[in-house]
Structure 1
Amino acid sequence: MSDLTKVPVTIVTGFLGAGKTTLISHLIRNAGGRRLAVVVNEFGTLGVDGDILKSCAIPDCPADNIVELANGCICCTVADDFIPTVEHLLALDPRPDHILIETSGLALPKPLLKAFDWPAIRSRITVDGVLALADAEAVAAGRFAPDLVAIEAQRAADPGIDHETPLAEVFEDQLACADMVLLTKVDLAGPDGVAAARTVIAAEAPRPVPVIELTDGVIDPRLILGLGAAAEDDIASRPSHHDGEDEHEHEDFDSVVIALGEITDPAVLTSRIEALARDRQILRVKGYAAVTGKPMRLLVQAVGARVRCHYDRLWQPGEPRGTSLVVIAEHDHIDPDTIRAALLD
């Protein structure tokens, strides 16, 4: 089977809240006649992103073409989840012209990339490109990247000590695997922030890669689909902190689902999430809330103390009204009772 008959796959990676779902929603609506299929990997048990994307379904990407994997990191469950999912999508009639894979914000892309060498699928699909999304404002603020000068000085003093944080390793591994970096939320970062973020990315990337700025996920699909990277054949040039390890774990991070009843004031919930992020070093909060007296569901998306809420759709007949939020943080900062109390106070 020649490469021309392989179904191209685009891997969309990036840190928590970088805008992966927003980008894929845009691509679904602007597919340019391509029949798309989407695999969404959630960190945590409450599916949010898959539900959002299914609400964007169109004839060229019906809801049945959108598969959600919410029971573990996609790069850790290759045999159990990823391979069967790809085989299912390839068996669809009509077969998809292009598959998009949205990894969780904490996933390491290289183990997933290696999965494309599995005999069951290698002759049928190819990695068209790996896109790494980076939040310009967050990167410029140094939240997801270390002080490079200080780290190099410490390494020079004692090269046997690893001074990098888990978040930095995830960020760097995502950049190292990328064929293209999409710098998101440039409107929030401003010109100085964008310039600072570009400097960090240039310093961290092991090889020069194109960097494209975008806002609200809007981009011409021709810029990012059809790259023809065949990244599965180029793994050696994509270094990882975990090279040489038989497997990797996500014990540095944990998540908890907090179920609440209806809320009366979205502004109060927002202020509680902001305080929780500051006090407990919470990385990400996402989910839905039922607001008393409102017929629509409130979508909640928070990155650190930056919280955004909007009503996304009507509650369906017979659908239980309630509030469910996934809270993600480094393992030592996840205490369900404390988090629940903070959201209820």
Structure 2
Amino acid sequence: MSFNAQRFYPQIFLLTGFLGSGKTSLILDHIRDPGTANTGVIVNEVGQIDVDGALITTGRTGFPVATLDNGCVCCSLNSDLPNAILELLAEREAAGGQPFERIIIETSGVSKPSPILRSLLNTGMPLRTTVLSTYDCEQGPDMTARFEEAVAQLAAAQTIVVSKVDRADDLASSRASQAAAYLNPLAAIVNERDRTQRARLAFAGIQMPLRSSFSIVARQEPNNSKHTRMNVFLIKFEEPKWDQLSEWIENLVGYCGDRLLRTKGFVRTEGRRVLIQGVGGSFDPPREIADGLEREDGLVIITRDLAREDFSTIEPPLKLQVHGL
């Protein structure tokens, strides 16, 4: 099966989250819901023993699961994931079933999202991708303090699902939401005790409006946060030319490397307001946004081990203001 411009392509949910944070449980809760018949799942499990895939397969008789068993998605060949998606679509078509409304890709707990998103961008298919990350209500702060992969997963997420809240008290649940919002102020937070409703909210596929998260309220570090290496900056430009801004962003990626976790915001350039968003070094094509909605211009950049002064070293030298959030 190859790319077909006339074909309907499903919503892609890239489900990340550190080891043991509840990714498979969230999928199981989702596929047990009667309204999820048109869902496909691609499971990536490190090693040859596909424990997670076996669990998902038993969730519903005949539920379609494709497995990548050659290690982490981010470490595999770029062709593996696109081929798995194409094969899943082809099997569905051959069986005469309705087209998938959504495909969930469950990544390994030690995968970073950026290389996976780059692989999806290179498929040539018009895929709409939403990044989700699970955040363990009990172990989340410790995991983000110890493992950079956990931080990268949360920073990339458009939606963070606080997991295991059904077995935590109200105070722990509230603190988990605060910690998740502190790590990624751009993400929507799902904190729901009812497991079925939690899964519905996570995989709703609702295209949220471009939020005026700029200006962002000052972030207050939660009491249980142990992460001291992660910073969020708001950068305001004085209407640069597009070619200069583009070069600056390219050099930002080169300068930061793995320390650049997430970029999102609106920048006015040459009379246009442009939406810029990226995960790690992978950026969506810039998109012009029509005036009319009240919003503040600025790029929110989530980094690790980067100081405010570092931005002044990036070429070309643009007129900008850097605010720590």
In which range does the TM-score fall when normalised by the shorter chain? 0.5 to 0.7
d(CA) in 2 for partners of 1:229, 1:4:
24
d(CA) in 1 for partners of 2:74, 2:149:
13
In the TM superposition, what whole-angstrom CA distance separates every residue of 1:128-153 from its partner, at most 9, and x where no partner exists? x21110111112xx31133xxxxxxx
Match of 2:104, SS? strand
Match of 2:176 among 197, 202, 213: 197
In the TM superposition, what whole-angstrom CA distance separates every residue of 1:89-128 from its partner, at most 9, and x where no partner exists? 121213422211111111111211122211x4423x321x
d(CA) in 1 for partners of 2:6, 2:21:
32
d(CA) in 1 for partners of 2:200, 2:59:
20
Match of 1:130, SS? strand
d(CA) in 1 for partners of 2:276, 2:176:
26
CA deviation after TM superposition for structure 1 residue 203, in Å = 2.0
d(CA) in 2 for partners of 1:57, 1:87:
22
d(CA) in 2 for partners of 1:87, 1:40:
14
Given that 1:135 and 1:185 are in contact with CA atoms closer than 8 Å, whether structure 2 keeps it comes out as yes
Superposed CA RMSD: 3.0
**One-letter amino acid of the structure 2 residue matched with residue 115 of structure 1:** S
Name the TM-score, length of structure 1 as normaliser: 0.54
Alignment of 1:213 with 2:218, yes or no, is no
Query: In the alignment, which residue of structure 2 is the partner of 1:85?
Result: 84
Given that 2:42 and 2:67 are in contact with CA atoms closer than 8 Å, whether structure 1 keeps it comes out as yes
Match of 2:121, SS? coil
Query: In the alignment, which residue of structure 1 is the partner of 2:136?
Result: 135
**One-letter amino acid of the structure 2 residue matched with residue 23 of structure 1:** L
Name the TM-score, length of structure 2 as normaliser: 0.57
Match of 1:38 among 12, 37, 41: 41
Alignment of 1:227 with 2:206, yes or no, is yes
Given that 2:44 and 2:107 are in contact with CA atoms closer than 8 Å, whether structure 1 keeps it comes out as yes
Alignment of 1:111 with 2:111, yes or no, is no
Given that 2:43 and 2:105 are in contact with CA atoms closer than 8 Å, whether structure 1 keeps it comes out as yes
CA deviation after TM superposition for structure 1 residue 3, in Å = 10
Match of 1:176, SS? helix
Closer, same or farther in 2 for the Cα pair 1:217/1:74, shift >3 Å?
farther
Query: In the alignment, which residue of structure 1 is the partner of 2:251?
Result: none
Listed as ranges, the gaps of 5+ residues in structure 2 are 210-263, 265-274, 283-325
Closer, same or farther in 2 for the Cα pair 1:20/1:32, shift >3 Å?
same
Match of 1:12 among 7, 15, 27: 15
d(CA) in 1 for partners of 2:195, 2:47:
24
Alignment of 1:101 with 2:105, yes or no, is yes
Percent identity over paired residues:
28
Given that 2:166 and 2:194 are in contact with CA atoms closer than 8 Å, whether structure 1 keeps it comes out as no
Given that 1:182 and 1:213 are in contact with CA atoms closer than 8 Å, whether structure 2 keeps it comes out as yes
**One-letter amino acid of the structure 2 residue matched with residue 32 of structure 1:** G
Given that 2:177 and 2:191 are in contact with CA atoms closer than 8 Å, whether structure 1 keeps it comes out as no
Given that 1:38 and 1:66 are in contact with CA atoms closer than 8 Å, whether structure 2 keeps it comes out as yes
Closer, same or farther in 2 for the Cα pair 1:227/1:2, shift >3 Å?
farther
Listed as ranges, the gaps of 5+ residues in structure 1 are 147-164, 245-345
Alignment of 1:126 with 2:128, yes or no, is yes
d(CA) in 1 for partners of 2:178, 2:6:
36
d(CA) in 2 for partners of 1:110, 1:23:
22
Query: In the alignment, which residue of structure 1 is the partner of 2:322?
Result: none
Q: Count how many residue pairs are aligned between Structure 1 and Structure 2.
A: 210
Closer, same or farther in 2 for the Cα pair 1:21/1:33, shift >3 Å?
closer
In the TM superposition, what whole-angstrom CA distance separates every residue of 1:3-37 from its partner, at most 9, and x where no partner exists? 99331111111111111111111211215154111
Closer, same or farther in 2 for the Cα pair 1:53/1:203, shift >3 Å?
same
Match of 2:168, SS? helix
Match of 1:182 among 161, 181, 185: 161
d(CA) in 1 for partners of 2:5, 2:34:
24
Match of 1:91, SS? helix
Match of 2:15, SS? strand
In the TM superposition, what whole-angstrom CA distance separates every residue of 1:186-215 from its partner, at most 9, and x where no partner exists? 14432222233223222211x332211245
- Structure 1 runs of 4+ with >4 Å offset: 1-4
Match of 2:151, SS? helix
Closer, same or farther in 2 for the Cα pair 1:22/1:35, shift >3 Å?
same
d(CA) in 2 for partners of 1:216, 1:104:
25
Q: Relative to structure 2, which stretch is displaced further, 218-227 or 109-118?
A: 218-227
Match of 1:137, SS? coil
CA deviation after TM superposition for structure 1 residue 173, in Å = 0.9
d(CA) in 2 for partners of 1:23, 1:220:
8
CA deviation after TM superposition for structure 1 residue 182, in Å = 0.6
Query: In the alignment, which residue of structure 2 is the partner of 1:308?
Result: none
